[in-house]
Chain A
């Protein structure tokens, strides 16, 4: 079963970049959303969603199969990935 991964990120944050890089290097498909570069019309809605998921304004916020991980934390990413090879 393919894992469903969403990375809420800030374009200014090196840890968000490392997170995206980690999933790319691990050959795991993911959707990445840079919240700070979204057009104004979408930004509030998406940012509010990320805040609701994470309970704060810290990024990255990674959602793996519905589980939320806040921060660049490969150990936690691995814990929640179920796809082949993990």
Chain B
């Protein structure tokens, strides 16, 4: 399908270091996370039981799901206790102060 792959979300300045901010480009639940100044975007849905990850605890690059404590590396999306499982990751870029998220196949 055609259409904009890069979808604008919120102001880059609104994602503080160490914070998780949920956004919904084209209705897709995405979590923007800034770790050591670098912006990451992951699916806002745990691979275990689909809990929203936004209320989870972020320590360094490790995000712990608030439901059952499943832990993910927000840089790779990898589940730390079994690398076969991962949350989706999305490319991001900043244009005119806005964070754009790349939705594949959008």
Question: Do A and B come into direct contact in the complex, CB within 8 Å?
Answer: no
Q: Residues on A close to B: CB < 8 A? A: none
